[in-house]
Structure 1
Amino acid sequence: MLIRVEIPIDAPGIDALLRRAFKGDAEAELIQRLREDGQITLGLVATDDEGQVIGYVAFSPVSVEGEDLQWVGLAPLAVDDARRGQGIGRNLVYEGLDALNEFGYAAVVTLGDPQLYGRFGFEPASRYGLRCRWPDTAAYFLIHKLADDALNGVGGLVEYSDHFNHF
């Protein structure tokens, strides 16, 4: 298995993986729209020995109360069903967090399973007075700070790209 930054030739494999993993079109279409608008800050693929995409994670810009604070949102994270339980998702997330830290990003938010993402160092964003626009998601809206001062004096509404609002 190889984890690397996505390249244009990966797009069809990413698309197919997202449609299989999420049993629908929404996530695949979201990534297509983000990609077309240049809003994927970092996209990583995991490929098998034949170069087929077996895992994917994307990070895209988010704002806090309308300000760009060098934060990104993690979404989606997908691993081929036949490859689950092999640490592919974990490796994708850790590689992404490491790269974003090196690039100088301050924090990563996600909307997901607190138990899963807690293993990667994510914690409830509500602890810091942060929320997202979707109702009843406070328990699932999580943050991982990359910079020590990322949360100093910050609070309020974290907004993803408008593309996330068209699910």
Structure 2
Amino acid sequence: MLIRTEAPADILPIDRLLKAAFETEAEANLVMKLRENGRCTLSLVACSDEGEVIGHLFFSPVTVDGQDDNWQGLAPLAVKPEFQRQGIGLALMEEAKETLAEFGYPVTVVLGHSDYYPKVGFVKASDYGLSCSWPVPDEAFMVLELIPGTLAGRNGLVEYSAEFSDV
């Protein structure tokens, strides 16, 4: 398996993957809108040995109390159904953590499954006084510090890009 940055030729395979991995087309439409509006910070794909796109994750900017500190929101993370439970999503996350930190993005947040994301280091955002702009279960909104010390004394309302309002 190869993990690499999304290339223009990956856009349609990613779209098909997202439509296969989720119950609705909302995530696929969200990624297209974010990409079209220049809100893509990092988009990685996992490819099979044959070159097929079998996994994808996407990061876009978030703000805290309206302030842009280069924090990133993860959404979505998807793996083709027939390739799930093989560690592909976790491998994508590990690569993303390293890449984001290398480029100076200090923190990422995710709204997701509380059994899955702690495997790569996410913790409840509320433990740091961070809240989500949507009414979500406390354990579902999580944060991961990529550059040590960034979360010290930081709290507030985390808001995603406007494109998320349509989801």
Superposition deviation, residue 124 in structure 1: 0.2
Runs of 4+ in 1 over 2 A off after TM superposition: none
Superposition deviation, residue 85 in structure 1: 1.5
Superposition deviation, residue 153 in structure 1: 2.5
Superposition RMSD on alpha carbons, in Å?
0.9
Percent identity reads 50
- Once the two structures are superposed, the pairs formed by residues 28-107 of structure 1 within 5 Å of their partners are 28-107=28-107
Which consecutive unaligned segments of at least 5 residues does structure 2 have? none
Letter matched to residue 61 of structure 1 = P
Superposition deviation, residue 142 in structure 1: 0.1
Q: Distance in 1 between matches of 2:62 and 2:136?
A: 20
Superposition deviation, residue 149 in structure 1: 1.9
Deviations along 1:47-82, one digit per CA (max 9) or x if unpaired, are 112221100000110000000111100110000111
Deviates more, 1:38-47 or 1:147-156: 147-156
Partner of 1:23: 23
SS at match of 1:44: strand
Q: Distance in 2 between matches of 1:7 and 1:135?
A: 35
SS at match of 1:109: strand
Which consecutive unaligned segments of at least 5 residues does structure 1 have? none
Letter matched to residue 60 of structure 1 = S
Partner of 1:166: 166
Letter matched to residue 67 of structure 1 = Q
SS at match of 2:76: strand
Deviates more, 1:134-143 or 1:83-92: 134-143
When normalised by structure 2's length, the TM-score is 0.97
When normalised by structure 1's length, the TM-score is 0.97
The yes-or-no answer on 1:141 pairing with 2:141 is yes
Letter matched to residue 23 of structure 2 = K
